[in-house]
Amino acid sequence: MQVAVKVFYLYNYFSMKKKITVVGAGHVGATCAHDIALKNLGDVVLLDVVGGLPQGLGLDMLQAAPIEGSDSQVFGTNDYADTKDSDLYVMTAGLARKPGMSREDLLIKNAQIVKSIVEQIKKHSPTSMIIVVTNPLDIMCQVALKVSGFESRRVMGMAGILDAARFRAFIALELKVSAQEVEAMVLGGHGDAMVPLPRLTLVKGKTLTDLLPEDKINALVERTRAGGAEIVNLLKTGSAYYAPAAAAAQMAEAILLDQKKLLPCSAYLNGQYGLKEVYIGVPVKLGSSGVEEIVELKLTADELSALKTSAAVVSENFNKLKGEIL
């Protein structure tokens, strides 16, 4: 181990500062590491398989901190030993979608990547939490839970905050109001089966259904559902990363600062909403214990059936991995 690495490691061991490892120094991972450092949540280890990439980005972020007023130290590595005793991992490693690819096309490849990473997490930080970002999201959460053997409250996925943020942004554009005034709820799987809930979407206390006609709302829902693909088609070489990274950083903040925030996340259901043993997007309370509570909203029969359809897609795809990878 290099001297600098040893010093960083020792410093972390004796420090009360939190240690956050972001796995994958690609678009989402690097941006998220920077967001976490900007929020001053603790020291950040950025890990990737590509030699030099996390080290270079880590140095750049370390040097941005004095200007940005952050005390976070960012450090890049290719070695999991440097992630030892992390409080939290944000898992962004994997392949991203190219035009024409669905999130499910990434299934087998990313499941192998997630499995190999979670084995390392378990070995080096057995009491940590994991926020999964890698797609197909809900299934990768399920892979992470199975491979880690962690309690389900410690393994969760980022999707609902992003989907809700897209919905909020489009509603704000349509109504010409600040997005901060828009509270939106999106349930279900991250993908074509997501379930935006206009009935529970509020603009300064007024429900969206009272503010816009049905066809306008449907158009906003459709744009939200295809929000990721719209960006993939424009970028051509990758997928969205500013908003996904911001969403994962918000989850990290809620956990590390024990904020007890109610946020839509992919969480493991064990009877809630009549669903069992499946990860799906639902509102949860996020705090220092991870997913501290799953909030059960009163859904209409149609909404509940859409949530169940969404969960069935996740279970079906997860079952494809059994025997093959798990």
> Which residues are catalytically annotated?
190
Type of residue at 177:
V
The residue whose two tokens read 């450092």 is 37
- Residue 117 engages ligand TXD in binding (rule: CB under 6 A): yes
Using CB under 6 A, which of 128, 134, 148, 201 touches ligand TXD?
134
Contact pattern for ligand TXD over residues 187 through 226, marking x by CB under 6 A: ---x------------------------------------
Q: Choose the stretch contacting ligand TXD; rule: CB under 6 A; options: 21-29, 37-45, 212-220, 254-262.
A: 21-29
Q: Should residue 116 be labelled a site residue for ligand TXD when binding is judged by CB under 6 A?
A: yes
> Using CB atoms within 10 A of its CB, is residue 38 exposed (0-12), middle (13-18) or buried (19+)?
middle
Candidates 14-22, 45-53, 179-187, 302-310; binding stretch for ligand TXD (CB under 6 A): 45-53
Q: Return the number of the residue (42 or 281) whose C-beta is nearest ligand TXD.
A: 281
Minimum distance from CB of 150 to ligand TXD (Å)? 19
- Site for ligand TXD contains 27 (CB under 6 A): yes
Residue 97 in tokens? 């979608």
Nearest Cα to 117, choosing from 23, 232, 19? 23
Instruction: Name residue 21's beta-bridge partners.
Output: 45, 89
Q: What is the DSSP string of 213-281?
A: -HHHHHHHHHHHHTHHHHHHHHHSSS---HHHHHHHHHHHHHHHTT--EEEEEEEEEESGGG-EEEEEE
Q: Does residue 162 bind ligand TXD (CB under 6 A)?
A: yes
Shortest CA distance to 208 belongs to which of 198, 197, 218, 219?
Answer: 198
The backbone region for 190, taken as left when phi is positive above 0, alpha when psi lies in -120 to 50, beta otherwise, is beta
The answer to whether 135 contacts ligand TXD (rule: CB under 6 A) is: yes
Can residue 317 be called a binding residue for ligand TXD (CB under 6 A)?
no
Residue 159, interface with ligand TXD (CB under 6 A)?
A: yes
CA distance 98 to 110: 14
Among 158, 254, 255, 286, binds ligand TXD (CB under 6 A): 158
Distance CA 145, CA 138 (A): 11
224-263 footprint of ligand TXD as x/- string (CB under 6 A): --------------xxxx--x-------------------
The tokens of 241 are what? 């990363």
Q: How far apart are CA 276 and CA 273, in angstroms?
A: 9
| Residue 108 near ligand TXD by CB under 6 A | no
CB 83 within 8 Å of CB 89: yes
Residue 29 touching ligand TXD (CB under 6 A): yes
Contact call for residue 128 and ligand TXD (CB under 6 A): no
- Shortest reach from residue 165's CB to ligand TXD, in Å: 10
Near ligand TXD by CB under 6 A: residue from 19, 20, 24, 195: 24
Separation of alpha carbons 84 and 214, rounded Å: 52
Interface with ligand TXD (CB under 6 A), residue total 34
- Under the rule (CB under 6 A), what is the footprint of ligand TXD? 23-29, 48-50, 92-97, 106, 110, 113, 116-117, 133-135, 137, 158-159, 162, 190, 238-241, 244
